[in-house]
Amino acid sequence: MKRLNRYDGLAMGIILVSTLLSLWRLNIFPVFVDIFYHMSVTKGFSIAGGIVLHDFWEFAPLGRVHLYPPFLHVIMGFMYRFLPMITVGKIISFIMFPLVQLSVFLYVREVFDRKTSFYTVLLITVPFNFYRSQALTNATSLVLVLTPLVFLAVEKRKLLSSVILMSMALYTHISMPHIVSAGLILYAVLNREKRKLILKTLGISYLLFLPWLIHVLVNSKEISAATFGTILQSEMHLIPIFFGFIGLVYCFLKKKHYYLPAMYFLSMIIILYKYPMRFWAHMALGISILGGISLSEIENAIIRNQKRYGMTLGFSVAVILMICFNIFDPVFTTTPIGNEFDNKDPTIMTLLKGNVQPSLITPETMELCRIVEENTNPEQIFFITNPTIGCLITSLTGRSQILGMWHEVQPEIKTPPAAAKLLIFDNKFLDNLRNKKPELLRNLKYVGKTERYTAFLQNRPVKAKSRIPKVVFPEILAYILLFSGIAGLIFDIRRS
Residue 342 binned pLDDT confidence (cut-offs 50, 70, 90): very low
Q: Which helix (H) or strand (E) holds 236?
A: strand 235-237
478 closest CA partner among 74, 174, 41, 83? 74
d(CA 104, CA 343): 26
Sorted by where each begins, the domain ranges of the chain are 6-30+70-356, 363-458
Position 337 scores a pLDDT of 41
45-57 pLDDT, tens digit each = 999 999 999 999 9
Three-class SS of residue 30?
Answer: coil
**CA separation (Å) from 199 to 154, 196, 202, 205, 266?**
11, 5, 5, 10, 19
Question: Does position 20 have pLDDT exceeding 70, yes or no?
Answer: yes
Pairing of strands 54-55, 400-401: unpaired
Strands lying side by side in the sheet with 444-449: 400-401, 381-384, 422-426, 453-458, 444-449
Do 367 and 450 contact (CB within 8 A), yes or no? yes
**In the predicted model, what is the mean pLDDT of residues 97-120?**
97
User: Can you list the alpha helix ranges (DSSP code H) found in 232-325?
Assistant: 238-254, 259-268, 271-274, 276-282, 284-303, 310-325
221-277 pLDDT, tens digit each = 988 866 555 555 677 889 999 999 999 999 888 876 689 999 999 999 988 887 887
Question: Does position 340 have pLDDT exceeding 50, yes or no?
Answer: no
d(CA 196, CA 454): 61
**CA separation (Å) from 197 to 153, 194, 255, 444?**
10, 5, 18, 64
Pairing of strands 473-474, 381-384: unpaired
**In the predicted model, what is the mean pLDDT of residues 452-466?**
91
d(CA 114, CA 318): 12
Do 50 and 477 contact (CB within 8 A), yes or no? yes
Q: Of 35-39, 61-65, 233-237, which gets the smallest average pLDDT? A: 233-237
Q: Of 185-194, 329-338, 446-455, which gets the smallest average pLDDT? A: 329-338
Kindly report whether the peptide bond that precedes residue 61 is cis, defined as omega within 30 degrees of 0.
yes
- pTM for the full predicted model: 0.95
**CA separation (Å) from 367 to 90, 374, 388, 448, 452?**
19, 11, 16, 9, 11
d(CA 61, CA 57): 8
Question: Does position 338 have pLDDT exceeding 50, yes or no?
Answer: no
Whole-number CA gyration radius for the chain: 25
